[in-house]
């Protein structure tokens, strides 16, 4: 494990910080907010021309979004969904990464404050994300989607909906530490799931129980994208996994499903990294490089869609 993550785990243990599965959703949200508030703001974030909070109308009412416009030219639009097991997280928890993606990929990033489980279980969070994807397609630029963990699950499902419903044309998807299945018996779950390294099997069972409690419903590919029988026609993908993440194998499994269905796929595996490691970009050069590589890939996808070769 990278020493930075060991430091975090040791600090949590010294403070006797409970695990997510040991508390209520409300307490878990407070824990997340406290961690974000206590963390120093990175000094290397790209400068934004503007950052504005707005609302988009969806099937469940108004959806809060945050729009990041970087300085310089705008090549495309990226709809982003934050991490948090569908239960925790908000616009603040994804703020740093949205700024990095906007500046490095030269895109307007639209972060979605989707409704959270258990108050709003499946399909409400997905409906919110998909509604913003539909709205963002009206901005008239090449459209990409990005997400982390449960957010990656939601944008992957939104891409499936867009394909099946003949919805917006999404040209690329960035899936970082994606939740793609409800199988807790993969090799990465067996070897890492009980170590409580920021995310555990017990945590994921808790998250799944809030988002989609019925086991039969979890087989729906919009809930578990790895259960998709045919992935052909989906957007090209960058899948980012962490070596020491219980979700590693289902992320790699989804990359392989896409690949065998004829979808172009690139994979980044963060060596010695824990789940959803992009948050450490301001502290670990290797993480900053992974974020930069992901943003460069997104930028190249957009340029290629416009007939420009940036290799």
Q: For residue 185, how many other CB atoms are within 10 A of its CB?
A: 9
Tell me the HSE value of 6 on the side-chain side, using a 13 A CA sphere: 4
Active-site residues: which are they?
149, 245, 275
Give, in order, the Cα–Cα distances in Å from 299 to each of 75, 78, 174, 176, 280.
8, 10, 11, 16, 22
Q: What's the token pair of residue 52? A: 């504005």
Over residues 244-300, the pLDDT tens digits come to 999 999 999 999 999 999 999 999 999 999 999 999 999 999 999 999 999 999 999
Q: Report the alpha-carbon distance of residue 38 to residue 45 in Å, rounded.
A: 18
**pLDDT > 90? residue 37:** no
Beta-carbon contacts of residue 139 (< 8 Å; ≥ 6 apart) = 77, 108
Q: For residue 172, how many other CB atoms are within 10 A of its CB?
A: 26
* pLDDT tier for residue 178 given thresholds of 50, 70 and 90: very high
Q: What percent of the chain has pLDDT over 70?
A: 98
Residues 136-160 have a mean pLDDT of: 98
* pLDDT tier for residue 96 given thresholds of 50, 70 and 90: very high
**pLDDT > 50? residue 311:** no
Judging by beta carbons within 10 Å of its beta carbon (0-12, 13-18, 19+), is residue 15 exposed, middle or buried?
exposed
Q: For residue 152, how many other CB atoms are within 10 A of its CB?
A: 31
- pTM of the predicted structure, to 2 decimals: 0.96
């Amino acid at each position: 494990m990278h020493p930075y993550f060991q430091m975090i785990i040791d600090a949590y243990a010294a403070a006797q910080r409970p695990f997510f599965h040991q508390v209520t959703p409300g307490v878990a949200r407070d824990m997340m907010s406290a961690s974000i508030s206590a963390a120093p703001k990175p000094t290397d974030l790209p400068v934004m021309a503007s950052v504005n909070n707005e609302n988009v109308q969806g099937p469940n009412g108004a959806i809060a979004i945050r729009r990041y416009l970087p300085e310089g030219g705008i090549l495309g639009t990226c709809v982003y969904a934050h991490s948090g097991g569908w239960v925790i997280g908000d616009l603040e928890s994804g703020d740093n990464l949205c700024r990095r993606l906007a500046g490095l990929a030269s895109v307007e990033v639209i972060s979605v404050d989707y409704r959270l489980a258990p108050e709003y279980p499946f399909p409400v969070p997905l409906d919110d994300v998909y509604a913003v994807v539909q709205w963002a397609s009206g901005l008239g630029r090449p459209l990409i989607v990005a997400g982390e963990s449960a957010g990656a699950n939601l944008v992957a499902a939104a891409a499936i909906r867009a394909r099946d419903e003949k919805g917006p044309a999404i040209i690329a998807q960035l899936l970082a530490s994606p939740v793609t299945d409800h199988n807790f018996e993969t090799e990465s779950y067996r070897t890492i799931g009980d170590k409580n390294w920021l995310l555990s099997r017990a945590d994921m069972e808790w998250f799944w129980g809030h988002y989609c409690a019925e086991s039969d419903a979890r087989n729906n590919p919009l809930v578990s994208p790895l259960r998709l029988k045919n992935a052909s026609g989906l957007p090209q993908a960058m899948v980012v996994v962490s070596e020491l993440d219980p979700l590693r194998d289902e992320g790699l499994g989804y990359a392989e499903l896409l690949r065998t269905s004829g979808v172009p796929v690139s994979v980044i595996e963060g060596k010695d990294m824990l789940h959803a490691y992009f948050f450490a970009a301001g502290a670990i050069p290797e993480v900053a490089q992974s974020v930069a590589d992901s943003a460069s890939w997104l930028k190249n996808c957009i340029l290629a869609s416009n007939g420009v070769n940036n290799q």
